[in-house]
Structure 1
Amino acid sequence: MTQPATSAQTTPTDDQKRAALRKHIARQLFLELILPIGAYYGLRAAGVNPWAALVAPALLTLAFLGYDALRHRRVDGVALFTLLMIVVGTAVSVVTGDPRTLLVRDSWLFGAIGLWILATLFTQRPMMRSVARTIVTVKVGEAGYREWDARWDNDSRFRHQLRVLSAVWGVGFALDAVIRIVVAYSLPLDAIPLVTTLQWLAVLAVLISFHIVYVNRNGLKV
């Protein structure tokens, strides 16, 4: 007779959680950092004009995000927003034919994301509550996520903490957008993708450092 599963068999270990999270982060880094900047400089080295070198990575990212939505049979709100901004930015650049317009597209994207994050503070689903679904599910599964998210209904401190995290990320994205606009119109064209990537990594490091410290101090870690 088959023995019932134990909690050790059904609950992910700390090592399994870390491994799942590392895999998720590595995938995101590939899609959002390595693919766009690597493809741009590779195409430029091959003699492709700046406009095409910028559009091609965007189309590749579009394909990966679309495949991911089909594979999981669920459309992630943030991914959908990113897809929309890529399409809009590319369409505008087609009309203008200006590579710098396409580069400023990232400013629109980051600025719009920042404003959207800040707008969610006034709803029942601040950004961090929505984004946490992917991260928490990766670490502890759907059941673990539902248990974590259930705290929203009866824990005012939990609601406050998620709103604080969301506000910090929203302000970070908005400020990053302003910096990107300044860079896009003040540096040589081929320097912009690398500079904006390094600048974003610096901003991201600050945001993630704050996030980790805040999550650990307030018992939000799963």
Structure 2
Amino acid sequence: MTTNTVSQGQSSNQTTQTPSALDNFRPLIVDVAVPLGAYYLFKDAFGMSTFAALAWSSVVPAARTVWSLVKERRANALAGLILAVNVVSLLLSFLSGDPRLMLAKDGAVSSTVGIGILVSVALGRPMMTAGMKPFLVKGNPAKEAAWQRLASGRAAASADFLRKERVFSVVWGVALLAECVARVVGAYTIPVDTMVWLGGVMMIGVMALTFVISGGLAAGPMEEMVRAEAEAHEAAARAEVTVAA
């Protein structure tokens, strides 16, 4: 009877405190997918100009940023970043004429994202965590709880976990800044016709390489730490139940 009571109590507590898979993906959906989807909807489906589509798709991230500052007394990193990217894109939309300048301006978006990510690390709130976490916990309540213990500093491996978390964002921030530099240099040193297609290839290459590097240096080890912490906590819980029984 004691064993059943303890198990049910733990299960109920875990259910009420552990975010669902949807909760984990909500920051990506609301702060990234919605504004990006809105941009393409306004531009392609409704035939709006690039400027108008960018302006209207900025409404949600702008509202989210203001809401976080007013109600939660903190900045919403993802919403703020998307808003900054849209503002930069709006300003750059006025540039025209020089084809090399038009190619180089695409790097401004990468640099804006890269700088935003690095600033978030310096402020102690690594921005890329929101995108990485759902793929590491996979909606598993035990792993979600393990993540929370590691992130809060309550687990033995917390220091290493938090260090890897920062490394993940730093890798992405540096990679995007490097892509920006390469794009600008290429825009003014490589024939325009070549750079038109090479810019896309460069972005794909940087993204693929960064996935591999950030995974090996941070995401992979973090996933292993989450798994180990979840298993250790479960073993400790079983031991307590056995003793209580």
Give TM-score scaled by structure 2 length. Answer: 0.54
RMSD, aligned α-carbons: 5.1
Give the match for residue 127 of structure 1.
Answer: 126
Offset of residue 11 of structure 1:
2.0
Counterpart of 1:7 (choices 7, 10, 19) is: 10
Give the match for residue 109 of structure 1.
Answer: 109
Letter in 2 for 1:173: L
Give the match for residue 90 of structure 2.
Answer: 90
C-alpha change, 1:203 and 1:111, in structure 2 (3 Å) is farther
Distance in 2, Cα, partners of 1:164 & 1:119: 13
C-alpha contact 1:93 1:99 (8 A) present in aligned 2: no
Distance in 2, Cα, partners of 1:28 & 1:174: 22
Any stretches of 5+ residues in structure 1 without a counterpart?
none
C-alpha change, 1:206 and 1:177, in structure 2 (3 Å) is farther
Does residue 61 (structure 1) correspond to residue 57 (structure 2)? The answer is yes
C-alpha contact 1:90 1:102 (8 A) present in aligned 2: no
Distance in 2, Cα, partners of 1:151 & 1:32: 34
Give the match for residue 167 of structure 2.
Answer: 164
Give the match for residue 235 of structure 2.
Answer: none
Offset of residue 30 of structure 1:
2.9
Instruction: Give matches, 1:46-57, under 5 Å.
Output: 46=47, 52=49, 54-57=50-53
C-alpha change, 1:115 and 1:150, in structure 2 (3 Å) is same
Distance in 2, Cα, partners of 1:103 & 1:41: 22
Letter in 2 for 1:217: E
- Single out whichever of 211-220 and 196-205 deviates more from structure 2: 196-205
Any stretches of 5+ residues in structure 2 without a counterpart?
1-7, 231-245
Distance in 2, Cα, partners of 1:85 & 1:65: 11
Distance in 1, Cα, partners of 2:10 & 2:89: 49
Offset of residue 208 of structure 1:
7.5
Residue identity over aligned pairs, in percent, reads 16
C-alpha contact 2:118 2:173 (8 A) present in aligned 1: yes
Give the match for residue 217 of structure 1.
Answer: 224
Instruction: Give matches, 1:188-199, under 5 Å.
Output: none
Offset of residue 82 of structure 1:
3.2
Offset of residue 164 of structure 1:
1.9
C-alpha contact 2:27 2:130 (8 A) present in aligned 1: no
Number of equivalent positions: 205
Query: Which protein has the larger Cα radius of gyration, Structure 1 or Structure 2?
Result: 2
C-alpha contact 2:31 2:82 (8 A) present in aligned 1: no
C-alpha change, 1:84 and 1:28, in structure 2 (3 Å) is closer
Give TM-score scaled by structure 1 length. Answer: 0.58
Offset of residue 76 of structure 1:
0.4
C-alpha change, 1:28 and 1:22, in structure 2 (3 Å) is same
Instruction: Give matches, 1:195-210, under 5 Å.
Output: 206=212
C-alpha contact 1:65 1:79 (8 A) present in aligned 2: yes
Distance in 2, Cα, partners of 1:175 & 1:205: 15
C-alpha contact 2:172 2:210 (8 A) present in aligned 1: no
